[in-house]
């Protein structure tokens, strides 16, 4: 959470930092701020509550070629001007930006207040500023004071600071897993950021900026115009080799779509094809996961699979559980990483834990993975971000290869996860000899159709727009599904609530009569997932129960269904498809419905309130 950008070089810092922050807004947008060291060596500070664009109206931009910026996702202290970063000391000698949580901030704050420091915000971050100030007042250099501060704080975070004067120096450090820092340098200039998109404004004019280094936990960097120096928190030099990142990793734009979310929904056919590339042989009709880290003997020795994730990735894990159970013959469980991390689960030699995450940085998921690692368990991750925490902790990564996802609501990475979970389940079944050849071939043939079928579905925009108009006025939604589609009902409800702010619940359809049925009346909209699968008749009964109570029903049906279509108020159709593809296909109309309802309600689709793309705090 929170985005950090710092620049030092021969150009004006403000526009580069401003553009970098705009690219990092997916990390949070509760407030924003930029501090620049002006030509007289003084720190000039501008802040705004809300989005980065608000900085445009904070007056004339300060001149200067060294600066730091921040876009905030609030943890300690509400979104306000006082709590916006950068934070400065009383005399505005130092400016600090921060991503993460200072766990011992209360203890540090009390001590600093006793020592005479005055605080102007409710944030934990401000203690960092005063700690650096304290070091400087004790005669340390800026670097030494920053390093000392790094040794005093507890928790998982990324911190960066600049100081007044003519040193033209940015210090940054990383502690724990919550906050990354990338560093890029080329001739006469350098940029730091919490994530690769921060580098974009410079990359467009200087291709050498593609050489980047990532800080590891416990590492610090001191960046000047001509030099980048890596150290540990004791000041010992660290050798670090930058690596080239591709333009594609960094470069993102809306490609003519009104929103990133829409663009990313439209990209789903390619995302699925890309997830299968070189992993599925459509001639031999086998799945070969060359990037799977377990040996054939280890795979044969597996006796259980546990899948963990949060939010949309948890919904993917729940679908994955069905797929793994059905096709690999292994018992499977799925659980929220935020619960899993605080249990003491048995992780035996035959347990395989699979974490799922778009970002690979979600704090709860990373902590759950670390626990598995500490218990000596076998651990793989399904992840979209190269170099993420998750991919570093896991024994192996099955990359989604969906391309960067900017819309805060996950879309293409969800269907990419479902694709890889299908591959994983088939691969495990195939490797363990429990999936007979005919079934394996049928499953692989089904997967081959997925990009085309998804392509047909995303093209149905007119239908989704029409239905959105019919349903946008409802304030309560119930999404019902069974079997593999129960988690898809939850995902449909999550998409709707997060981008339209409409109350929506996802429920296993069979559970409806145990409570939620009390909610049914003509003001409650029910979205019933009733594709033609082996549970179809059961869902039909549930839909009839809703209609008997005057509920309004929009059903997602298989093309050609004439049985249920006559009983419901509206129907959406997916093409006939094998059962393992149905969760992917049903997802599309639900995403599109949520998207168009949110538009009708005039919501900020790409950056819904209170959310952030990477949830790197607990």
Residue ranges in contact with ligand F6R by CB under 6 A:
310-313, 357-359, 362, 365, 409-410, 494, 498, 614-615
Task: For residue 550, give the 3-state DSSP assignment.
Answer: coil
Write the CA distances from 172 to 145, 216, 537, integer angstroms: 12, 12, 59
E-strand ranges in 205-309 read: 211-214, 219-223, 228-232, 243-244, 280-281, 286-287, 304-309
Residue among 331, 262, 265, 334 nearest 486 (CA): 334
**Nearest residue (beta carbon) to ligand F6R:** 311
Closest approach of ligand F6R to the CB of residue 226, in Å: 37
Q: Is 109 a catalytic residue?
A: no
Catalytic option among 2, 171, 310, 383? 2
Nearer to ligand F6R, 341 or 532 (CB): 341
Q: Give the integer Cα–Cα distance in Å for 289 and 380.
A: 12
Nearer to ligand F6R, 197 or 357 (CB): 357
Nearer to ligand F6R, 33 or 311 (CB): 311
Closest approach of ligand F6R to the CB of residue 332, in Å: 19
Nearer to ligand F6R, 38 or 386 (CB): 386
Closest approach of ligand F6R to the CB of residue 388, in Å: 9
Token representation of residue 29: 């947008």
In the DSSP assignment, the letter for residue 610 is: T
Q: Are strands 170-175 and 157-163 parallel, antiparallel or unpaired?
A: antiparallel
Q: Are strands 66-72 and 3-8 parallel, antiparallel or unpaired?
A: antiparallel
Nearer to ligand F6R, 66 or 398 (CB): 398
Closest approach of ligand F6R to the CB of residue 358, in Å: 4
Nearer to ligand F6R, 261 or 577 (CB): 261
Q: Is 2 a catalytic residue?
A: yes
Closest approach of ligand F6R to the CB of residue 365, in Å: 5
Nearer to ligand F6R, 358 or 430 (CB): 358
CB 318, CB 487: distance < 8 Å = yes
Closest approach of ligand F6R to the CB of residue 384, in Å: 8
Cis peptide before 86 (omega within 30 of 0): yes
**Cβ contacts of 160 within 8 Å, gap of 6 or more:** 4, 6, 68, 96, 97, 98, 170, 171, 172, 173, 181, 192
CB 233, CB 220: distance < 8 Å = yes
Q: Give the integer Cα–Cα distance in Å for 234 and 333.
A: 44
Write the CA distances from 561 to 163, 481, 482, 525, 532, integer angstroms: 68, 17, 18, 21, 8
Q: Give the integer Cα–Cα distance in Å for 316 and 331.
A: 17
CB 369, CB 382: distance < 8 Å = no
Closest approach of ligand F6R to the CB of residue 447, in Å: 22
Which of the residues are catalytic?
A: 2, 613
């Amino acid at each position: 959470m929170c985005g950090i950008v710092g620049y030092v070089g021969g150009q004006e810092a403000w526009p580069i930092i401003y553009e970098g922050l705009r690219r990092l807004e997916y990390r949070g947008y509760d407030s924003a701020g930029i501090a620049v060291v002006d030509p007289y060596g003084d720190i000039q500070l501008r802040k705004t509550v809300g989005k980065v664009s608000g900085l445009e109206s904070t007056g004339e931009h300060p001149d200067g070629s060294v600066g730091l910026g921040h876009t905030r996702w609030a943890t300690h202290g509400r979104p306000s001007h006082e709590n916006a970063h950068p934070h400065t000391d009383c005399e505005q000698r130092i400016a600090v930006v921060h991503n993460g949580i200072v766990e011992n901030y209360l203890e540090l704050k009390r001590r600093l207040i006793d020592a005479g420091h005055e605080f102007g915000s409710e944030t934990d971050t401000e203690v960092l500023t005063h700690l650096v100030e304290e070091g400087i007042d004790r005669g340390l250099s800026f670097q030494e004071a920053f390093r000392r501060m790094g040794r005093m704080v507890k928790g998982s975070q990324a911190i960066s600071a600049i100081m007044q004067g003519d040193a033209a120096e940015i210090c940054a450090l990383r502690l724990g897993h919550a906050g990354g820092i990338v560093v890029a340098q080329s001739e006469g200039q350098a940029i730091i950021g919490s994530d690769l998109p921060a580098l974009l404004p410079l990359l467009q004019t200087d291709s050498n900026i593609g050489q980047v280094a990532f800080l590891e936990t416990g590492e610090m960097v001191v960046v000047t115009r001509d030099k980048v120096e890596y150290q540990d928190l004791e000041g010992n030099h660290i050798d670090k080799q930058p690596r080239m990142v591709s333009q594609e990793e960094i470069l993102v734009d809306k490609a003519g779509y009104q929103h990133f979310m829409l663009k990313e929904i439209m990209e789903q056919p390619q995302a699925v094809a890309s997830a299968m590339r070189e992993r599925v042989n459509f001639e031999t009709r086998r799945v070969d996961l060359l990037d799977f880290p377990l040996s054939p003997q280890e795979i044969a020795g597996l006796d259980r699979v546990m899948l963990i994730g949060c939010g949309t990735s948890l919904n993917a894990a729940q679908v994955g559980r069905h797929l793994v159970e059905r096709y690999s013959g292994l018992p499977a469980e799925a659980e929220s990483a935020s619960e899993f991390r605080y249990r003491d689960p048995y992780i035996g030699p035959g347990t395989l834990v699979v974490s799922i995450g778009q970002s690979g940085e979600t704090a709860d998921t990373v902590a759950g993975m670390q626990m598995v690692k500490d218990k000596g368990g076998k651990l793989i991750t399904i992840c979209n971000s190269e170099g993420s925490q998750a991919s570093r902790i896991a024994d192996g990564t099955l990359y989604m290869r969906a391309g960067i996802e900017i819309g805060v609501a996950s879309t293409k990475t969800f269907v990419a996860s479902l694709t890889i979970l299908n591959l994983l389940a088939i691969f495990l079944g195939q490797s363990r000899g429990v999936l007979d050849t005919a079934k394996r071939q049928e499953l692989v043939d089904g997967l081959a159709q997925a990009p085309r079928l998804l392509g047909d579905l995303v093209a149905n925009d007119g239908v989704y727009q029409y239905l959105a108009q019919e349903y946008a006025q409802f304030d309560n939604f119930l999404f019902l599904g069974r079997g593999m589609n129960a988690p898809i009902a939850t995902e449909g409800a999550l998409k709707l609530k997060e981008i339209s702010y409409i109350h929506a619940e996802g429920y296993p359809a069979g559970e409806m009569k145990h409570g939620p049925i009390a909610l049914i009346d003509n003001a409650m909209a029910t979205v019933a997932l009733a594709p033609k699968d082996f549970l179809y008749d059961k869902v039909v009964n549930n839909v009839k129960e809703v209609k008997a109570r005057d509920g309004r029903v929009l059903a997602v049906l298989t093309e050609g269904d004439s049985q249920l279509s006559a009983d419901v108020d509206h129907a959406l159709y997916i093409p006939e498809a094998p059962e393992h593809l149905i969760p992917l296909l049903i997802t599309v109309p639900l995403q599109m419905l949520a998207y168009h309802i949110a538009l009708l309600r005039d919501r900020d689709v790409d950056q819904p309130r209170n959310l952030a793309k990477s949830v790197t705090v607990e």
